[in-house]
Structure 1
């Protein structure tokens, strides 16, 4: 059972501190409690309610076996998000957001597969057949790919949801998710627009303590969803389960009845056939003139 959100814990972590009043976004007004010393104060009761709403939805997604992509490239958030995402066994982006990560996912997957190809070259000895200069170039490429895409190497398809820290900074990731109708969960500060976010968590997205406090609730919910899935043993929505379903024969084909064969005409005696022919003969022998005369 995930721990309950306590407002006092959020207060101690500094989740209530917003941005300067001159930098605020008017759409965040419903989540602002007051202004103090030129800084907006976030209403933590609304934050607590939004955390519970978001964690419940994240728990359902993880329980279904789908992936949640965590995005946080700012200095004070990247280490915390990477640690929590690893603990929950979820993909994450903490370096530069690769343009087209979602909208051009096929190309990104090719870059990830290139890492696997280089690893195979090193294992089978092909790598050593290259010249020294080529080996250095390949090593640099491998290190670069590992830094930028190593954390998403296990993500074989588009994520079911995005969790973003600071939507203003990660506006490209948000735009790509919106284009593909991927649900967005986000820590939204007073200088950001909450209208484009599906699950808004109004909170301080600059302080490391605040980020860690929110991420602890999120990661626990995801881990709990995964544990429920393991205990349930249901693979209906998992990637492997979906592949098995695709390969399995369709039941509706088996259930379809076989095509009806033409009914066999019962055999008749020769005399019966002769009588039927004789009965039809007068009708066949009538000409058009005879028919007209009968009508007159």
Structure 2
């Protein structure tokens, strides 16, 4: 609660800009500004974090989205820290709903990077290099955080559902659950996991983004540990099965040969005992 207060999470928008659907999350107003009920924020923030952690603990993915200036740095840094995907500059229309087209753009970016690394770019004219360099920078800026995303995310964390209206609509259309910081001017009905709070202040955005990233990291760690445990269990089981079904034919053959050898030796001893030496026969 102290962190929420210090970050200014309780400050909403001007009362004249409010969305009536946010009424249940508003504590009151002060100097023409709505004050958000932090008791509800804390409860719903914990629930949203738990959901994100559970998703990650199943080996599933989370996409961070925050393209407004105040959110760009925090979204990129925290998503990278926890190993999540992110969009922090421009949301390209169709990112979720037109997956095939997005993949073409990603392939184009990877091709341009490869051309730069292996020297093919140097073989082009100066004008052509400049054009391709601009294209690569543009693609990198928009696709950096989703360059390695091979399928739709399993959940999406959004800073300011109003600013990311297109992203939220695409997620809802594709059945991707949305966790979002929702200010007093937003529509909470379009969000699955609501976090009522200030979505403009830098400290508030950093706090929300950091805690969600912590939840993702916690879930990923639990998933990795479960994978290690499952692998060890499988290896132990394979070892047990290997012992149960070990090929004993070579050992049985060895025992048979040993038995034949022993029987042959015993027969020789018996023959030696019953044979009378020639001098004894003359006597």
The aligned counterpart of 2:27 is 33
Which among 107, 114, 129 is matched to residue 120 of structure 1?
114
Cα 1:142–1:193 shift into 2, 3 Å: same
C-alpha separation in 1, matches of 2:118 and 2:213: 39
Which among 192, 196, 203 is matched to residue 202 of structure 1?
196
When you count helix as a share of all residues, which structure comes out higher?
Answer: 2
What is the TM-score when the length of structure 2 is the normalising length? 0.78
C-alpha separation in 2, matches of 1:120 and 1:9: 45
Which deviates the most, 59-68 or 21-30? 59-68
Cα deviations by residue, 1:19-47 (Å, 9 ceiling, x for unpaired): 11111111101111111111111110100
Post-superposition shift, 1:62? 1.1
Cα deviations by residue, 1:142-194 (Å, 9 ceiling, x for unpaired): 11111111111111111111111111111111111111111000000000000
Cα 1:216–1:133 shift into 2, 3 Å: same
The aligned counterpart of 1:64 is 58
C-alpha separation in 1, matches of 2:116 and 2:35: 55
C-alpha separation in 1, matches of 2:173 and 2:228: 31
What is the TM-score when the length of structure 1 is the normalising length? 0.75
Instruction: Summarize the alignment of residues 3-22 of structure 1 with structure 2, pairs less than 5 Å apart.
Output: 7-22=1-16
What are the ranges of 5 or more consecutive residues in structure 2 without an aligned counterpart? Answer: 231-283
The aligned counterpart of 1:44 is 38
Post-superposition shift, 1:234? 6.6
C-alpha separation in 2, matches of 1:85 and 1:35: 34
How many pairs are equivalent?
230
Which among 68, 71, 86 is matched to residue 77 of structure 1?
71
C-alpha separation in 1, matches of 2:115 and 2:196: 48
C-alpha separation in 2, matches of 1:27 and 1:62: 30
The aligned counterpart of 1:250 is none
2:47 aligned with 1:53: yes
Post-superposition shift, 1:227? 0.7
Which among 123, 129, 146 is matched to residue 123 of structure 2?
129
For residue 233 of structure 1, give the secondary structure of its aligned residue in structure 2.
helix
Contact 1:167 1:192 in 2 (8 A): yes
Post-superposition shift, 1:235? 11
The aligned counterpart of 1:260 is none
Which among 149, 153, 161 is matched to residue 147 of structure 2?
153
2:133 aligned with 1:139: yes
Over the aligned positions, Cα root-mean-square deviation in angstroms equals 1.5
2:103 aligned with 1:109: yes
The aligned counterpart of 1:284 is none
What are the ranges of 5 or more consecutive residues in structure 1 without an aligned counterpart? Answer: 1-6, 237-296
Post-superposition shift, 1:116? 1.4
Contact 1:112 1:150 in 2 (8 A): no
